[in-house]
Amino acid sequence: MFGLSELAIILIVLIAVLAAKKLPELARSAGKSARILKAEARAAEAEAEAQEDERRAQAQQPQQPQQAHQPLGEQPDAPRVIRGETVIKGETVTRDAAADGSRTQQQR
């Protein structure tokens, strides 16, 4: 009977004969995929190098104290004010869809 190596050779020849039409297309597709993979790997490497260069540049610059940006006249613990709305303690602002403005309701 046939051994394992003889069966493998017969199987390879049979696949080559039956898939002869598709082999050039498969090889072309594999080549395109390899080129894309190489290009993506180069791009990722270049991006990593750029990030590393940026980190080095930041590390070489002298450290300046970070100051929180606050508009003039505003204190850090002051409540946030949204223009166009007036909210008084104890009142609730509700919007009336039919009216052009907003209405207030007393909540006491």
Q: Which sequence spans correspond to the domains of the chain? A: 1-60
Q: Which amino acid is at 29?
A: S
Say what the pLDDT of residue 74 is.
57
Are 46 and 40 in contact by the 8 Å Cβ rule? The answer is no
pLDDT tens-place string over residues 51-69 = 999 998 888 876 655 555 5
Say what the pLDDT of residue 83 is.
73
| pTM value > 0.85 | no
pLDDT tens-place string over residues 67-91 = 555 555 556 676 676 677 666 777 6
Look up residue 72 and give its DSSP letter.
T
Among positive and negative, which fits the CA dihedral 33, 35, 40, 45?
Answer: positive
Report d(CA 73, CA 81) in Å as an integer. 13
Are 93 and 87 in contact by the 8 Å Cβ rule? The answer is yes
